[in-house]
Structure 1
Amino acid sequence: MVIPGSLLDELGASYALDDVHIENLRRNGFVHLKGVFSQDLLAFFREPLARIVAAESQQLPPLAERDAYGRAFAQIMNVWTRHEHVRDFILNRKTAEIATRLLRCSGVRMWHDQ
């Protein structure tokens, strides 16, 4: 998949985090960050990601064969290892930098997606 230059630039751009964001994460366990990705970038990835999730979901066992957790949550994991579109969307400089700054650490690694 070829990402247009302007969107590629966006995936490498910094996001303005401040101490309030970091404190909200520490206090509440989550933080709402507005405008991380532009509408154009989200539109570019929306259809391919929806198609991939739908296809991957078809590989799950039927509901009757799942345990209680599996019936409540249909999980597909490590999709980024199989699909370039997912990899390009989640493994980028902007996302990694945001996570690193929020966690106040020197770097982050993707363990798994879900």
Structure 2
Amino acid sequence: MSKELQLEALPKLNEEYALTQEQIASYQMSGHLVLRGVATPEEIQIYEPLLENLVREHNHHTKPVHERDTYGKAFIQVGNLWEMSEEAKRFVLARRFAKIAADLMGVDGVRIYHDQALFKEPGGGHTPWHQDQIYWPLDTRNTITMWMPLVPVSEAVGSMTFVDGSHHHGHITRELISDESHKTLGSYIEAKGLNTVNYGALTAGDATFHSGWTLHSAPGNPTEQMREVMTIIYFADGVRALEPDSKARSNDLNRWLPGVKPGELAASPLNPLVYHRNQS
């Protein structure tokens, strides 16, 4: 079979996933939501080996888990798989996922910021408390991440833990993902008596969605199985880039918004419009 025919045979992931008004309201109030069966078992069975192969090819870790720092222990991290293969592009730019993101945020259209494979190895460490958007030079609160396991995630590994309503707090600390951020934000959560939620075991193709400012963390992986997760980050169409106020945001501006200057529309070739209500 030719490459073109193989690509055409892949599930297009265009069919809509119906959301209720209650789910949308819950997301907007809490800053996080779990949705079951966003991708079907059959779709995951096809895409998982394609994505897993890319992660294996681009894994930069050379040290065993126990010799890495906290960030390195947390996961194998590979960004923008959609640039690496047409198969990954079909998955990441899927209309189904993008429409969910737009519906939850209540916006007309969304663009890709970037995708990330986050594979937590057997024995991998916890992911410290953090807010994603301290890295993103985007002048908006309308950002959202889809976090989808490609394999079943057991109760022992679990999904992420979210802090209810923390996206309304905005920028809490400048600390990047680290032992320091875990301590600082953990103290913040405790001092304010904030409620935390963990959705527990997930099936491959389930997904959580969370706002860019939602505080979250993830436990380590005590099992012998790799926790394979794909994430896709979206932002509302029409958003402008911020003047970076940190090295992390400066790096992100150059990597994920190439050629875009502060104040300009965040719409580089790496940020395609993947869904808009006025387009078929």
- TM bucket (normalised to shorter chain) is 0.7 to 0.9
Q: Secondary structure at the match of 2:72?
A: helix
Q: State the AA in 2 paired with 1:54.
A: R
Indicate whether 1:2 and 2:2 are aligned: no
* Higher mean C-alpha displacement, 100-109 vs 17-26: 17-26
Note if 1:32 corresponds to 2:53: no
Q: Please tell me the residue identity of whatever aligns with 2:30.
A: N
Is 1:100–1:106's contact at 8 Å kept on the other side of the alignment? yes
2:7 match: secondary structure: coil
For 1:88, which of 75, 87, 90 is the aligned residue? 90
Q: How far has the Cα of 1:69 moved from its partner? A: 2.1
Give, in whole Å, the separation in 2 of the partners of 1:81 and 1:23: 34
Are 1:21 and 2:23 an aligned pair? yes
Distance in 2 separating the partners of 1:3 and 1:111:
25
Cα distance in structure 1, aligned partners of 2:77 and 2:18: 32
Partner of 2:55: 53
Which structure has the larger Rg? 2
Confirm or deny that 1:104 pairs with 2:109. Answer: no
| In 2: Cα distance, 1:70 partner to 1:26 partner | 32
Q: Which structure has more strand as a fraction of its residues?
A: 2
Q: Offset at 1:83?
A: 1.8
Relative to structure 1, the CA distance from residue 50 to residue 30 in structure 2 (aligned partners, 3 Å threshold; closer, same or farther) is same
Deviation of 1:61 after TM superposition, in Å, equals 4.4
Higher relative contact order (CA 8 A, sep 6+): 1
Instruction: Measure, in 1, the Cα distance between the counterparts of 2:74 and 2:63.
Output: 9
Equivalent pairs, count:
109
> Which amino acid in the other structure matches residue 62 of structure 1?
T
Quickly say closer, same or farther: Cα 1:66–1:83, change in 2 above 3 A: farther
Secondary structure of 2:49's counterpart equals: helix
CA contact (8 A) 1:63 1:71 kept: no
Query: In structure 1, how many angstroms separate the alpha carbons of the residues matched to 2:114 and 2:68?
Result: 21
| Paired residue type of 1:2 | L
**Structure 1 stretches lacking a partner, 5+ long:** none
Question: What is the match of residue 62 of structure 1?
Answer: 62
Whether the 8 Å contact between 1:79 and 1:113 is mirrored in structure 2 is yes
**C-alpha distance in 1, partners of 2:99/2:105?**
10
- Compute the displacement of 1:98 (Å): 0.9
CA RMSD in angstroms, aligned pairs only: 2.1
Structure 2: tracts of 5 or more residues without a match: 1-5, 117-280
Partner Cα separation in structure 1 for residue 51 and residue 25 of structure 2: 32
